[in-house]
Structure 1
Amino acid sequence: MSMTTMMIKVHGMALATCTSRVLLCLAEKGLDYELIPVDVAAGEHKQQPYLSLNPFGQIPAFEDGDVKLFESRAISKYLANKHKDIGTDLLRSSCLKESAIVETWMEVEAHQFNAPMRTLIHQLILNPLGGSVSDEKIIETELEKLGKVFDVYEQKLSVTKYLAGDFYSMADLYHIPYLFYFMKTPKAIVVTDRPHVLAWWMDISSRPATIEVAQGMTLHKFL
């Protein structure tokens, strides 16, 4: 183990989608790291010393020597850039055209996919587990939004194997945490009814890195 990888620390919870996004990147790169649990139930993320790592009181936070970061997408990009020559080339940094396409679909995930999916995960999984009643009207509205996003994906994935091309990239990786949980719900038909989206999901969910990280994504450990 090198001194560089020894210093990598991820503060968060393996079952949390933003934490798992970073862990997926680390796994794809084959990097060693220490996952430092944050007791969210006890509000540890809203208190010092954690707030010195993430002033917004959210998980994860990240340390790599003197580099301290928060926001899972920024952390993942940092790791992919720093370690671009090992593991999976997640940003395609050696090709300007490919890297620009990867960035485009990373933006799509953040601005088109993330919002409806986040709301659906809360309504379909977190609310019931926490004892709250789900709002069927909200679910219907967000499913319609997500369906329109997946219509675009279906067309794109009929042409290329992955979102940015015929190569796995950060654009695909970013989708995994939420989809992992969503596919366990009755609304997974939004994916299974679209053959190219389904084939894409079956591919990215069966990667060794995904399987490794998914072992920690068990909600019952927390709720």
Structure 2
Amino acid sequence: MAPKLHGSLFSTATLRAIAALQEKGIEFEFVAIDLRAGEHKKEPFLSFNPFGQVPAFEDGDLKLFESRAITAYVANEYQGKGTELAYHDAKKMATVGVWVEVEAHHFDPIASKLFFEKVVKPMFMGLEPESVVVEENQKKLGEVLDVYETRLSKSKYLGGDEFSLADLHHLPTMQYLMGTSTKEVFEARPLVSSWAKDIMARPAWIKTLAMQKQA
């Protein structure tokens, strides 16, 4: 029985989980959750995630929520299939783990604020971004990406010389931001810019975006 992923194709967290499944070449069933109708705040979805946030994931009798927990499970459960997003080697995986944490605690909080201002407000709420909030967070993003620029001078990808969860987790929010003027913050750093273009061109990510376009 194929795994099921419950979510919204416009949710960055859902796209993160889909990208991992696509990288591993796993057939899965997608169950669309209508966020505008509030389906994520009602049963039966709350039985999957009591916090009422997408995505949620089923694989047999296992139920998971939180996108990074889902990607970690997919990477480890399906080792040997598709892209090796996680590794048995403890030292190698520890390095990947550092940059997974960096994405979650340093990149994502800033990028998500910019995503809300530059994408969600104009597209879904008919509102203009707050220029002060955008300026403040683009400065913060630049400081984080300066660290990335240094890291990428030492390895092709954040977790080492191979694509991993550390890179994949950036894709959804970064994809949205690259469609806004915030792309200049990425493009101002040559190694970051090359890395972003590289990972956004991956076949698994192209398949993920194709799913979104069909929605």
State the TM bucket, normalised to the shorter chain.
over 0.9
Query: Which stretch shows the higher mean deviation, 184-193 or 208-217?
Result: 208-217
1:203 aligned to which of 198, 202, 205: 198
Displacement after TM superposition at 1:15 (Å) = 2.3
Superposition pairs of residues 69-218 of structure 1, within 5 angstroms? 69-92=64-87, 94-129=88-123, 130-218=125-213
1:67 maps to 2:31? no
Q: CA-atom RMSD, angstroms?
A: 1.2
Deviations 1:6-34 (A, max 9, x none): 2x000011221100111000001000000
Uncovered stretches (5+) of structure 2, i.e. residues with no partner: none
Displacement after TM superposition at 1:159 (Å) = 1.6
Deviations 1:62-92 (A, max 9, x none): 1101000100000110111111121111112
Displacement after TM superposition at 1:132 (Å) = 1.9
| Other structure's SS at 2:182 match | helix
| Other structure's SS at 1:86 match | coil
1:9 aligned to which of 4, 7, 13: 4
Deviations 1:51-70 (A, max 9, x none): 11110011001110100010
Displacement after TM superposition at 1:217 (Å) = 3.6
Provide the C-alpha distance between the structure 2 equivalents of 1:34 and 1:192, rounded to a whole number of angstroms.
Answer: 36
Deviations 1:169-212 (A, max 9, x none): 00000000000100000121000111100110111011110110
Counterpart code for 1:179: M
Uncovered stretches (5+) of structure 1, i.e. residues with no partner: none
Provide the C-alpha distance between the structure 2 equivalents of 1:131 and 1:86, rounded to a whole number of angstroms.
Answer: 43
| Other structure's SS at 1:186 match | coil
CA contact (8 A) 1:16 1:217 kept: no
| Other structure's SS at 2:135 match | helix
Provide the C-alpha distance between the structure 2 equivalents of 1:209 and 1:56, rounded to a whole number of angstroms.
Answer: 29
Provide the C-alpha distance between the structure 1 equivalents of 2:33 and 2:195, rounded to a whole number of angstroms.
Answer: 32
Provide the C-alpha distance between the structure 2 equivalents of 1:127 and 1:217, rounded to a whole number of angstroms.
Answer: 19
Displacement after TM superposition at 1:128 (Å) = 1.0
Provide the C-alpha distance between the structure 2 equivalents of 1:96 and 1:32, rounded to a whole number of angstroms.
Answer: 29
Query: Which stretch shows the higher mean deviation, 79-88 or 143-152?
Result: 79-88
Counterpart code for 2:91: K
| Other structure's SS at 1:91 match | coil
| Other structure's SS at 1:216 match | helix
- How many residues are aligned here? 214
Question: TM-score, normalised to structure 1's length?
Answer: 0.93
Query: Which stretch shows the higher mean deviation, 83-92 or 64-73?
Result: 83-92
Residue identity (%): 45
Question: TM-score, normalised to structure 2's length?
Answer: 0.97
For 1:28, the equivalent position in structure 2 comes to 23
Provide the C-alpha distance between the structure 2 equivalents of 1:212 and 1:34, rounded to a whole number of angstroms.
Answer: 15
